[in-house]
Amino acid sequence: MLTIALLGFGVVGSGTAEVITENQDRIRRATGDGIEIKYILDLRDFPDSPFADRIVHDYDIILSDPEVQVVVEMMGGSHPAYDFTKAALCAGKSVVTSNKEVVAKFGTELLALAAEHSVHYLFEASVGGGIPILRALAHDLATNRVHSVNGILNGTTNYILTRMVEDGISFDAALAEAQQKGYAERDPSADVDGHDAARKIVILAAMSFSVRHNPDTISIEGIRNVKVEDVRMAALAGCAIKLIGHAEKTENQKLQLWVAPCAVPHENPLSHVNDVFNGILTDTDMLGQTMFYGRGAGKLPTAGAVVSDLTDIATHPYDVATAQHWSDGDSACLTDSATEEKARFLVILPPALDNAKLADALSAVAMIGNEEIGRCVITTGKITRAALDETLATAGKNASVYRII
């Protein structure tokens, strides 16, 4: 029997208790034994919950109980989650978490601490909710060299962009709807400004290249400035606008690592990932492209990923040789996405007679105008973003620009 303690009895915490209770028979079949929740740490009491007798308010009770083998941290935020994680690892207890903020900021240190104490630090639920992507990178794709990872990693922004495409509503209207449905927080900035996706792509890059970069040092652009005219013109050019987290090793061993709204051509499977769903497209040397798709958020999908980490711990003793070991990367190893990366772009701007001249200057491969939308879209040749911006500025154009992936 694996004896665990839950830190936090909110959405994911209560979901984890539910999955363990509902699917205990399947857990037994997978592990040979079950999982027992001995404690649940929360500030609140839950007198009506079937788990009311497990609620504690003092973390020391959990830390000092030698029967507790795994602490499951689902508190969110950096502190005290990071401090509680450290204390558990130092006490020789494995830690499972859904907390992407802690993993993205402190993952290198916490994995090293886990190795020092020969215990697990697992975080499948921190990226892509219920999608088994981290385990795939750690095990199934471990013998492949990863070239790139592109992901739709935030369900809230994907819902907003889908609503803008499908119903032609504005960003503000789609955000209000996402808030009403409980997808977006009252303060939506972590989602719409790209910080949540940034933490997740940092984790995916660390899993792929064993180097963790501080999410605060990567280029992050959210979706606040995406206009409904942009998504409609992008559709005419055969693309969907999606918030993409991108990680790619360059030939000179630098790393492209950024989050931005991009134009995704319809032949790319990521363009068909809609609503609150997430999609992650990996490109590796042996397998080529592989698409992971599913529910990137929500109580039971996320809790399911937490429980899959617990079954992993129940069935595999810690092994330093196969565990994750990251180092912290220097921001000098990141490419400057504006000056060092060449790509094709969609440039969306009001129609004008001199747009043909601009299209020539941008080595455009296509230009489409639409009177009803009142916009023109130019598909550029390969160019850096800095050169593109300079050409637009010289021509006196104020345009929306999306990199094509």
Catalytic residues: 200
DSSP state of 329: P
Q: How far is the CB of 26 from ligand HSE (least distance, A)?
A: 24
148 or 156, CB closer to ligand HSE?
A: 156
113 or 307, CB closer to ligand HSE?
A: 307
Q: Across the strands, what pairs with 292?
A: 280
Size of the site for ligand HSE (CB under 6 A): 8
Q: How far is the CB of 47 from ligand HSE (least distance, A)?
A: 29
- 320, amino acid identity: V
Is residue 42 close enough to count as binding ligand HSE by CB under 6 A? no
Q: 242 near 270, Cβ under 8 Å? A: yes
- Select from 57-65, 71-79, 89-97, 153-161 the region that touches ligand HSE (CB under 6 A): 153-161
Q: How far is the CB of 296 from ligand HSE (least distance, A)?
A: 5
Q: 160 near 176, Cβ under 8 Å? A: no
Is residue 230 close enough to count as binding ligand HSE by CB under 6 A? no
Sign of the torsion angle spanned by Cα atoms 163, 167, 172, 173? negative
Where residue 214 falls (left for φ over 0; alpha for ψ -120 to 50; beta otherwise) is: beta
Q: Which of residues 283-312 bind ligand HSE (CB under 6 A)?
A: 296-297
The tokens describing 119, both together, are 């215990």
DSSP state of 257: E
**Which of 42, 73, 124, 191 touches ligand HSE (CB under 6 A)?**
191
Is residue 156 close enough to count as binding ligand HSE by CB under 6 A? yes
d(Cα 98, Cα 15) in Å, to the nearest integer?
12
295 or 385, CB closer to ligand HSE?
A: 295
- Select from 44-52, 150-158, 222-230, 348-356 the region that touches ligand HSE (CB under 6 A): 150-158
- 101, amino acid identity: E
Q: How far is the CB of 245 from ligand HSE (least distance, A)?
A: 11
Q: 100 near 73, Cβ under 8 Å? A: no
Is residue 279 close enough to count as binding ligand HSE by CB under 6 A? no
66 or 182, CB closer to ligand HSE?
A: 182
d(Cα 160, Cα 174) in Å, to the nearest integer?
5
- Select from 37-45, 54-62, 149-157, 255-263 the region that touches ligand HSE (CB under 6 A): 149-157
**Phi and psi of 44, rounded to 5°?**
-95, 165
243 or 346, CB closer to ligand HSE?
A: 243
59 or 183, CB closer to ligand HSE?
A: 183
d(Cα 330, Cα 319) in Å, to the nearest integer?
28
d(Cα 373, Cα 376) in Å, to the nearest integer?
9
DSSP state of 137: I
59: number of Cβ within 10 Å: 18
Q: Across the strands, what pairs with 219?
A: 258
Q: How far is the CB of 219 from ligand HSE (least distance, A)?
A: 20
What's the Cα-to-Cα distance from 107 to each of 103, 126, 204, 235, 397, rounded to whole Å? 4, 12, 12, 39, 43
d(Cα 391, Cα 309) in Å, to the nearest integer?
50
Is residue 196 close enough to count as binding ligand HSE by CB under 6 A? yes
Quickly tell me which residue has 């989602």 as its tokens: 191
**Which of 148, 154, 284, 337 touches ligand HSE (CB under 6 A)?**
154
Q: How far is the CB of 199 from ligand HSE (least distance, A)?
A: 9
Residues in the chain: 405
154 or 282, CB closer to ligand HSE?
A: 154
Beta strands in 109-265, from DSSP E residues, in sequence order: 121-122, 146-152, 211-212, 219-220, 239-249, 255-265
137 or 347, CB closer to ligand HSE?
A: 137
Using CB under 6 A as the criterion, which residues of the chain lie in contact with ligand HSE when the complex forms?
Answer: 129, 154-156, 191, 196, 296-297
